[in-house]
A and B are shown apart, each in its own frame.
Chain A
Amino acid sequence: MLRKYSNSRSLADNIQLGVLTAFSAGMVNVATLIIFFAFASNVTGHYAILAEEISKGNWYQVAVVMAWILLFLIGSFVSNFIIINLNRKNAYVAHALPLLLEIACLLTVGVYGQYYYQGTLTETEILVAFMLFAMGLQNGLTASISNFSVKTTHLTGLTTDLGILFSMFTQKEYRNNAVLVGKAKLLTAIAISYLTGGVMAGVLYKQLEFKVFYIVSLVIVVVILYDYSKLRFLKLFNRRSRYTSEYKRQPLAPPENEQAIKEVEELV
């Protein structure tokens, strides 16, 4: 899910990554909306709000919304910066690091909310800023490693693409195009996953309140550990297959006798 980069990724890799990260993004967005009355990932909406606040001359709100948008941008920047600089050294670490940072942001909000949150406006604005940074990190990572195929928080673009694809599927030649069908599957999976995550957050928030962010962190830990376990398995598998192939390659007898053995085998 995380190991492969850009064009070397399969559809299954992208669906796995898209589903899990979209699920967590849906959870974060709805939880943030319920608790703080602000979206954590709806950047299009934030741009609209920014324009509205500018037109009204509410400069305090302009500054706050501008900072939120900027933090989303910085999150995406940091994510891709880590990937392009560490990818050659260790692709897995390069891809897992932005998710670890995201977990740090989520846990900060969860712990602060659970133990220290007084409900002041400044606290609310700062915690929403953390969430936007986290979503920027996640979106930057998924978009970057999937060659811009997976964008887990960008549902406007996703719905547009789905609309275009569904209209293309009215013609047989496009319906039989495996690439387009795969893309439609990926986008549908992301949309459903995002929605499911949102519903889960809405239901869980009633019982868990700020602890809902621990659940989101857990989902991201699954993304990281899934690949880690797969990586370990692959290493083990490679070692075994190397051992087996080396064992197979081992001569059965000293080289000088091998020819004689072959001749006997042929006679048999």
Chain B
Amino acid sequence: MHSVRKKIHPGFAYGGFLAGCLCLFLVLMTNASSPDRLILGTWKEVTWEYEKVDNYQDEVALQRRVIDYGMRQLIAKDLIIHEAEQWRFLPNGTLQLLTRPGSERAVQWSLKGRGHILTMQYDQLLEESYTIAKLTENELVLYFHTDIEVRGIAKITFRKIR
């Protein structure tokens, strides 16, 4: 019995592969929201926790432990985000950090990598970067390294309020 095989010109195979990849790319891009659009709006800090700690006697107890307000102030003392409770991301690249007493600090924000790094710049001098662990319509989770109380990764969770 003869098996009939149609020979396909390699050009069609290559073209088809590329067209398929392009279609998949376009479908994914048009149906998913880009991180720089998702992040726009006002976010309120909900919790500060330790995600991972290093070289600590009671590591298990500390992991996932909520960082209290006093410790939080200490950890963020030298950071741009010091005392900020609400973060307002504007489309022009400005991030307004609103603090409890009602003051406001404007910094420049941008996303890097595949949208997984949030960088902030203040006065062209200070630059900080935070890893975006989760970004949805309503929730934003940031990680950053700390070594104030213990050396490890702190996690800030936000909820979108506007």
Chain A residues at the B interface, C-beta cutoff of 8 Å = 36-38, 49, 53, 58-67, 70, 118-122, 124-125, 128
Contacts and interface: CB of A to CB of B under 8 A. Distances in A.
Interface stretch (B24-32, B65-73, B94-102): B24-32
A122 B35 CA distance: 10
A37 B117 contact: yes
A60 B28 contact: yes
Interface size of B as a range: 20 to 34
Contacts, number: 68
Given A121-B34, A121-B35, A60 B29 contact: yes
Interface of B: 21, 24-25, 28-29, 31-36, 93, 108, 110-117, 119, 129
Contacts of A53: 114
Contact of B115 (A61, A66, A70, A118): A61
A64 B114 CA distance: 7
Main SS of chain A's interface residues? helix
Nearest to B39: A121
Given A37-B117, A121-B34, A121-B115, A62 B110 contact: no
Given A37-B129, A119-B93, A121-B36, A61 B114 contact: yes
B113 A36 contact: yes
Given A120-B36, A121-B35, A63 B28 contact: yes
Nearest to B110: A119
Top 3 closest pairs, chain A to chain B, by CB: A63-B28, A59-B32, A37-B113
A78 to B, nearest CB: 12
